[in-house]
Amino acid sequence: MRVLYVEDDRMLGAAVEQALKDAAYAVDWVTDGETALDAAKLQDYQLILLDLGLPKPDGLEVLRQIRRTLPPVPVIIVTARDAIDDRIGGLDLGADDYLTKPFEVGELLARMRAVLRRQGSGADALLSNGDIDLNPATHEAGRGGNKVALTAREFALLNALMMRPGKIFSRTELEQRLYGWNEEVESNAIEFLIHALRKKLGTDAIRNVRGVGWMVDKANQ
């Protein structure tokens, strides 16, 4: 799941970016409003985390333009502005939630999951295609009565496949869901993760469609 994180505080931004990666999110971190708007136009994000105190333009203007010109995407405002008027203004402009600094990363992740649930993404809901079960809350997968723990990357890849059983994902589509802009992607990274998942879940858990990509089967197939 890919997230746009807009924060101009370098120390906080680096810490939150790493926490999001550890939680299996692909993160694009930008530090000003103009770059945030450009990124939102170019990339399909499942969630945006938006600071208000940004340069050129500020966060409220970024939110206003996102809501006016782009397809619906969940936005959580993450800011030091805690006045009630700021909260009301942000929510009235279309923010889905409002979190004030300082905050615990655990709370941010919980709010992200809650917003994604309301958007129908299935966050925190058990995913199943009738053969494989995936628990987003624990990053555990189950098959044939056996449960296995997944690494963050393994979970992110399997989660992408399990959100759309029967859909064939190309290498590029999977890389976009697993890696942010500033992450170097090895040429065989996707194959390596699929190999690891097959070792844990069985060689037929993820099917390869030669020359196209990978998929998990739909239920009852």
- Residue-wise pLDDT for 127-145, tens only, equals 889 999 998 878 899 998 8
What is residue 7's predicted lDDT score, i.e. its pLDDT? 97
**pLDDT 10s digits, 50-107:** 999 999 899 999 999 999 988 789 999 999 998 899 899 899 999 999 999 999 999 9
- Are 89 and 153 in the same domain? no
220: in domain: no
Q: If pLDDT is split at 50, 70 and 90, which confidence band does 121 have?
A: low
Structure tokens at 94: 């279309």
What are the tokens at 133?
A: 């079960």
Tell whether 100 and 11 lie within a shared domain.
Answer: yes
CA angle 90, 7, 10 (to 5 degrees): 155
189/169 Cα distance (integer angstroms): 15
Confidence of residue 220 (pLDDT cuts 50, 70, 90): low
Together in a domain, 23 and 87: yes
CA distance 133 to 142: 5
Query: Residues 203, 171, 3, 64: is their CA dihedral positive or negative?
Result: negative
> What whole-number percentage of the chain has pLDDT above 70?
96
pTM value is 0.78
Query: Is 205 found in the same domain as 156?
Result: yes
Q: Verify that 109 and 151 share a domain, yes or no.
A: no
**Taking a C-beta distance cutoff of 8 angstroms, is the pair 116, 47 a contact?**
yes
Would you say residue 145 lies in a domain? yes
Domain CATH for 41? 3.40.50.2300
Residues 19, 111: one domain? yes
Specify if 221 maps to a domain: no
Domain boundary at 118, 146, 179, which? 118
35 occurs within a structural domain: yes
Q: With cut-offs at 50, 70 and 90, classify the pLDDT of residue 221.
A: very low
Q: Are residues 184 and 203 in the same domain?
A: yes
Residues 67 and 147 in one domain: no
Q: Are 50 and 70 within one domain?
A: yes
CA dihedral over 109, 47, 205, 165, signed as positive or negative: positive
Share of residues in the chain with pLDDT > 90 (%): 67
Listed residues 69, 85, 118: the one ending a domain: 118
Alpha helices for the chain (secondary structure H): 10-22, 33-42, 59-69, 84-92, 105-118, 152-163, 171-178, 189-201
Mean pLDDT of 95-120: 89
**Domain end position, chosen among 89, 118, 147:** 118
CATH number at residue 194: 1.10.10.10
Mean pLDDT for the stretch of residues 10-37: 94
The parent domain of residue 78 ranges over 2-118
Please give the pLDDT value at position 123: 54
